[in-house]
Structure formats: structure tokens, C-alpha cells
Amino acid sequence: MISRGLFRGILCRRLGIGTVVAVGTVALESPAVVLEGLLYLGDSAALETIHAEYENMAPPTPLPPMLAVSGDVPEGDQWVYDWKWDGVRAIVGIEGGEVRVHSRALRDITSRYPELQELAAATRARLLLDGEIVALDEQGRPDFDRLQSRMQVGLPTPRMLRESPLYYYVLDLLVADGENLCGSSYRHRRDRLAELGLPAPPTIRPPDPHARISGSGLLDIAAEHGFEGIMAKRLDSPYRPGVRSTDWINTPLRIRQEVVIGGWVPGRSRHAGTLGTLLLGAYDPSGALSYIGHVETGRPDPSSEALLGKLEALTRPSSPFATPVPRRRARHARWVEPELVGEVEHRRWTNDRTLWRPSWQGLRTDREPAEVTLPV
């Protein structure tokens, strides 16, 4: 077995097709490149030796995360609850000072979230963690709008790290020092996680699940404090990588909002000529119709065909909204007189006063457009 020092001293850099430099004393660029180089050279003995050493040195291989189903809150002693954090799922591997972060789709996103390197100093164990990267508002509540400013940045600047701090909520332990814990119960995995003593305030946060409160009671608290919803997990459930399981139940909070229809966008491709998207508004205190977002109407059916007939009868040449409609929506919009009221369900209001993930519920013929106002 080669020493770790010698392994780290091997450099395998491709200088061109068929050219490999295999030995040197400079810093290792990538263990994976070393393996590729030895494979090219046909040195099978060295390849097996280094591969074994690499497997012991590198963070555990990431696993696709277990997923929840949506449903009503389950009750009973076999369930525990946590908040829905409204963040980015992150599978994090740790080994010997190296931290690797992978997305739900197992893309390497390590460079996007350098804050998580604090985990290297928090433990000497070789771990694979499941959790969520979260941004918080001034009240300590998850704020997806703030998180979005970081999600598409490949390498954040020091200023961005100061102004848009993120936090990693460690929710599960999948591998610990070579032991795969996926077959163990959630209760056992959480106990092992607690034994690690991982908290590294303020960035690394392993929250405790709520076990001494009813699920419905916690959902009421979530609504009161502006959380997205709650997650219920069975205490005896194993971790099933990549599987959507009824052992985890996601209960999002949904808010109903009346809306005024100010325009629509036709469907595309095989749905051309049908109703695709509705452009929505609500009146501000001055009586101006503010654009608050769009909603898909779903597959064509008799109700959407009837709604399309009503909209075509209300056609007007210009937008009825007093505030701008995003260009990608306005480009193909058919504007209508703001005379029809509908209702949507959504998760929350964004910082720019638009609906977050709305779903169309139907027309409200019992409401007048002037009754539809922006929330205070």
C-alpha cells in the first residue's frame, strides 16, 4: 500500500492526446486524473493500489437523496417532524479535510458554497450527510429569494459571502467512517448524527426533529411564523436513496389568493390554439392593477375551453396592468379587460410581490374585480 504522502505527490496531467506525465513531487490536481492516467498507461497493479488508497482518502461517493411524498400531516408516536426549509438539497461528503458538495441531481456544486468547508474543521470522521442549504431573513425564517442570488453563481466573491450568507441544515447521516447507515432506522441515524457534535455556528446547523408536539400543531406554528410547511418522517424508516417514499411525508402550506385576469398566453406545440398561461393581477391601495405573476391552466379540458371563450370576448389592445409584465410573458400575451376574477393557491409572496408557485383553482363568479387587493 502506498503512503498518503506519496499518493498526494503523484501528478497525472494530460498534455495532449496520448501524453501523460505520471510521477512528480508537485501537488496533486485530481485523484480521478491520476487513476485515468494509470489506466491509460496500462499499469493495472498500480491502478488497483492507488484506487484502493483513493477510496480510503476521498469523501464517500454521493448518493441520490431520498424523497418525500406530499400528503396530509400524519399523527402518532412513530412520527417526528421538522420544518420545510425551502432550501437547496445538498449531499455533502467529508474526509481528511476535504468537503465535496453535490446537488439533488448529483452535480458537483462544491465551489458555489464555500461556507460548507467549515465542516472539515468540525469533524475528523469520514461522513456522508444529507441536508439543505438555506438563506434566512432578518427574522430567521427561510428566504428562497435570497438563496436564488447565490444558486447560479459558480464562485461567489468575498463580498457576496458577507452580504448573502448561507447555512447548512444537516438533516441525516448516511455514511459514518465507512459504515453505510442507510439500512438503519431514522431514529438510529439521528442518534449517530447527534453523537458527532457537528454544530459549527452559525453556518452548520443540525436541527432536532420535533417529537413532543402533534403534526397539526406544528403546521399551525409553521403558518404563524411564515415557514413553507413541515416534513414528517417515520422513526423506523430506512434511508432509500433516490426513492420517493411514504415514510417521509411533505405537507406544504398553501395560501389562497383571489386574482384578476389581465391577459393570457396561448399554449405551444401540440397545445397551440388552446389556453396556456394566465397573467394575473391585484389592485393596490391607489386602485392600480399590479401584475402579480402567471399561472399555468393545465391540460385543455371543457372548463379551460369555456374560459378561453370568455377571454377572447374581452380582448383589448394593450396591457391593463399598471406595473411591468416580464418581457418573456408580455411578448406573446393577449390582453383582456380586467373583468374576470379567479383563485389560485400558492406558497408565499416573493420580495417583488409576485406569487410563488401558484396553481389555478378556477373562476370566482361571486367576486368583483375591485374586491381583489394586494395583501397588506
Catalytic amino acids? 84
Which residue type occupies 124? R
| Residue 292 CB neighbours (<10 A) | 26
Of 332, 336, 330, the closest CA to residue 315 belongs to 336
Q: How far is CA 286 from CA 46, 197, 283, 322, in A?
A: 76, 54, 8, 11
| CB-based burial, 107-143: b 16+ in 10 Å, e otherwise | eebbebbebbeebeebbeebbbbbbbbbbbeeeebbb
Q: How far is CA 122 from CA 115, 201, 319, in A?
A: 12, 10, 55
**CA-to-CA distance for 98 and 54, rounded, in angstroms?**
13
Quick check: 149 and 193 in contact, CB under 8 A?
no
Give me Rg for the CA atoms of the chain.
26
| Residue 106 CB neighbours (<10 A) | 14
